[in-house]
Structure 1
Amino acid sequence: MENCTLYTHEVEMEKVLTRMRAHFGEQAVKVTGPEHQWEQLTISSGKKLLRKGNTLTITYRQRAIPGYQLVRNDDPVTANLLGMYGFVQQLPADNPDLKELLLAKVATLNTEIAFLATPSFNGDLRAAVMELAHELDGIFFCENNFIFKTDVQGFWDKTGALLLDVNGHSTATNLTVNINTRYFDSQEAPSDTATARKERNRQLLEEMKVKTTPNLPVIADESQVVLRSVEEVAQRAAVLAAVNTVAFGYLESPAVISYLQQHQLWDKTTPAEKAFLEDPQDEAKTRETWKCEDIWVLLWALNKVPSLGEMDALCNLDMVPEEAFPFRGPASDPAVFLAGATSLRNASEILDANDLYYRANWACVDARLRSEKEPVHPGIVYERHYALNWLINYRDQTWDEVTCDT
């Protein structure tokens, strides 16, 4: 048996039944469940007869609430897509612009369609699956891709071009991200507060010679957002500061693991951070050093530093007063810092910053897509946007799964 999975933004699965009947003939397709909401399709013979014993079984599942953004909930499909998004984020990429498009595509997916071929995907079965991929504008994700005859784990587009594999390779050069307009038609009108914030930040960025667009939507306003608690922010900063010393090579990971366990911070350490500490390879260390910018944002939110500073200026954690810094070595006690973290900046300040970095991040992505120089430092902007999204509970995402949609 061979299998593959197709992911699509589409939710109308009658199209699958129609396509399979058109390809194989109506008599070839056995339908389990009502045709308008079928549960399984089994294809065995018909207009284009399959070889004796060859079958194709198709099942699907969908998000409980279809849309174009990933919001954490108990829905298993959404949980799978969030995991997929996080997986793509961690992959290297020879073509980073294409990776950004793939991330955008993953956020729009609503349906996963599973194909099981017995004993294998012969030419006719493969042709039918590819026709369907074209009609549904889908992408494939496979660990062992029997459709494209490769054992490399990765993502392929509807033409069979490789979007991204685990080694960072691609053969595709572009990816279209389409969203059904129905998901915008039901949107509530933005509040005056959110609209004013958007326009202030657009003007500020224009004065900084950072190109913006009026088409980006507003972000949540004060009536909609629920900030992380002071305790949660302080604990996150404490963990990040400790892990960051391993990234920069100041400490060995066993000492930091012991410290986090001793001071009841290990259960606040994320799965990705634990994996890094258990095997801190050089490439991972380089990525992790950027988290100093996230620490800076959290300290700003906790009123430990006066401002975020310029978008082109790397933060300097050495400027933080010793008593205000969350980690002062494995012999120190984080209790002093945690007890001293008593307040957050108000929601308006944090949302102002979030909206500003959201638009600046879009400007960086847009410049890359146009093969132009980014107008501000993309690494600084991305990491600060990341931490600010976490602070405002963007899509209720955990630290490892924060998305920086643009």
Structure 2
Amino acid sequence: MENCTLYTHEVEMEKVLACVRAHFGASAVTVKGPDHNWESISIRSGKKLLRKGNTLSITYRQRAVPGYELLYSDDPVTANLMGMHGFVQQLPADNPALKELLLAKITTINTEIAMQAEPAFNGELRAVVMEMAQELDGIFFSEKNFIFNTPVQGFWDKSGALLLDVNGHATATHLAVNIHAKYFDAAEGPSPEAAARKDRSLEQLTGMQVKSSVNLPVIVDENAVVLRTAREVAERTAILAAVNAVAFGYLDGSEVVQYLQQNQLWDKTTDAEKTFLDNPTPDDKTRETWKCEDVWVLLWALHKIPSLGYINDLCNLDMVPETAFPFKGPASDPAAFLNDAVSLRSATEILDANDLYYRAHWACVDARLKGEQEPVHPGIVYERHYALNWLINYRNQPWDDVTCDT
């Protein structure tokens, strides 16, 4: 079995159906769903041009809102494209100009078409796939298969020329980046608010001598973000602070379990935290100590500390006033802290911080992939980005599953 994915700015998938029917004949093609909105296409052996035993299956998915730019979104296709964009940014390139064109092309993609050949992409299957690519002005991402005859992951253009592989090599010399006028005219692009936030973050990072990428998308707007509630943030802070006491060796896991159960916080303790408290190994303790940075961010969001401080400075929870800290030992009661949590900082403040740490995190990842020294402390940046992503409900992910896409 072989797989490849074709990416295109087109959204009219009747073109795919017309292409396979024209190539193999209508009787060879089985379609699930109506022609104008099909769900899957299957082409089976014994039909016109297709050798016995060969099949081709095609499915697709699209951006919730088609466009020509990548904007911060929970939409799974957009999230995947943002991940692809970040992946390409971090690859080496023998032809940097071509890499920039590939990055621009990725931002215009609206549809990803997954194709699976059994047992392989033979001559006729390859031919129809390349016809689709021409018709849809697409690009491919693929691993080893018959189409491109290579063992290396990479991106290919609609003619089969290599745009960029994971080693930075290319055979293509140019890539057209086309945008339908209907998308361009309809697309609003980044809001002035989001664009200004991005510019402020980049200016701030430049002042710290941290080089981030101007190609990273903007983040969610204030009118679209749904922040966690103050109560939810306070409960998460209280749990993290208690678990952190075990990480630093001040208490046993069983003592904190009892504390969380007695104070009606156990049901809100995550599975990963429960596993840690049950068996806090030395390695797990070391990793968990970094969560003090998350506590710091959430205390800031709850107005318990005046600022996050410099991006490269470790937090100091000892500086938090006793009345503003949720955990004072296994005999303490977090009720006063929880009841006092009635408001969060503004969406503007939280999004400004999120945008800054998002771009700083990218700079750390980029430097690490290049074998260079990270420009700021990667542990601090990652944990604060993590907590800020949770605060803004990034991709609606629960605490244990928060991702820090760059």
TM-score category of the 2 structures, normalised to the smaller one: 0.5 to 0.7
How far the C-alpha of 1:254 sits from its partner, in A, is: 4.2
**Is the CA contact 2:49–2:124 (under 8 Å) kept in the aligned structure 1?**
no
Task: Spell out structure 1 runs of 4+ moving beyond 6 A.
Answer: 2-5, 80-83, 182-185
Which string of whole-angstrom CA distances, capped at 9 and with x for unpartnered residues, describes residues 214-267 of structure 1? Answer: 554554555554432221111111122233334444444444344333322233
**SS of corresponding position for 1:31:** strand
How far apart in 2 are the matches of 1:346 and 1:49? 61
**Is the CA contact 1:139–1:158 (under 8 Å) kept in the aligned structure 2?**
no
Report matched runs for 1:93-104 at 5 Å.
none
**Amino acid of the structure 2 residue aligned with 1:25:** F
Q: Which residue number in structure 1 is paired with residue 122 of structure 2?
A: 124
Q: Which residue number in structure 2 is paired with residue 391 of structure 1?
A: 391
**Amino acid of the structure 2 residue aligned with 1:350:** I
Aligned-residue CA RMSD (Å):
4.9
Q: Which residue number in structure 2 is paired with residue 190 of structure 1?
A: 191
CA shift in 2, pair 1:235/1:181, >3 Å = farther
**Amino acid of the structure 2 residue aligned with 1:204:** Q
The unaligned stretches of length 5 or more in structure 2 are 84-88, 92-105, 155-164, 171-175
**Is the CA contact 1:40–1:59 (under 8 Å) kept in the aligned structure 2?**
yes
**Is the CA contact 1:21–1:29 (under 8 Å) kept in the aligned structure 2?**
yes
How far the C-alpha of 1:333 sits from its partner, in A, is: 2.3
CA shift in 2, pair 1:215/1:70, >3 Å = closer
Q: Which residue number in structure 2 is paired with residue 25 of structure 1?
A: 24
CA shift in 2, pair 1:239/1:49, >3 Å = same
**Is the CA contact 1:56–1:125 (under 8 Å) kept in the aligned structure 2?**
no
% same residue: 55
**Is the CA contact 1:20–1:128 (under 8 Å) kept in the aligned structure 2?**
no
Q: Which residue number in structure 1 is paired with residue 329 of structure 2?
A: 329
How far apart in 2 are the matches of 1:50 and 1:363? 50
How far apart in 2 are the matches of 1:174 and 1:284? 36
CA shift in 2, pair 1:173/1:329, >3 Å = farther
Q: TM-score normalized by structure 1?
A: 0.67
**SS of corresponding position for 1:385:** helix
How far apart in 1 are the matches of 2:124 and 2:296? 51
Structure 1 range deviating more: 286-295 or 389-398: 389-398
**Is the CA contact 1:140–1:158 (under 8 Å) kept in the aligned structure 2?**
no
**Amino acid of the structure 2 residue aligned with 1:121:** P
**Is the CA contact 2:71–2:219 (under 8 Å) kept in the aligned structure 1?**
no
**SS of corresponding position for 1:228:** coil
CA shift in 2, pair 1:241/1:283, >3 Å = same
How far the C-alpha of 1:401 sits from its partner, in A, is: 4.1
Which string of whole-angstrom CA distances, capped at 9 and with x for unpartnered residues, describes residues 299-340 of structure 1? Answer: 112122222122221112232233322223333322132123
- Highest CA radius of gyration, 1 or 2? 2
**SS of corresponding position for 1:204:** helix
**Amino acid of the structure 1 residue aligned with 2:188:** Q
Report matched runs for 1:7-156 at 5 Å.
11=11, 13-14=13-14, 16-17=16-17, 25-26=24-25, 29-32=28-31, 33-43=33-43, 44-46=45-47, 48-51=49-52, 55-62=55-62, 64-65=64-65, 68=70, 71-72=73-74, 78=76, 111=112, 113=114, 115=116, 121=119, 124=122, 128=126, 135=133, 137=139
**Is the CA contact 1:301–1:344 (under 8 Å) kept in the aligned structure 2?**
yes
Q: Which residue number in structure 1 is paired with residue 86 of structure 2?
A: none
Report matched runs for 1:333-352 at 5 Å.
333-352=333-352
How far apart in 1 are the matches of 2:209 and 2:350? 23
How far apart in 2 are the matches of 1:58 and 1:72? 25
The unaligned stretches of length 5 or more in structure 1 are 87-95, 99-104, 142-146, 149-156, 164-170
**SS of corresponding position for 1:41:** strand
How far apart in 2 are the matches of 1:125 and 1:255? 66
CA shift in 2, pair 1:175/1:47, >3 Å = farther
How far apart in 1 are the matches of 2:214 and 2:153? 33
Aligned length: 360
Q: TM-score normalized by structure 2?
A: 0.67
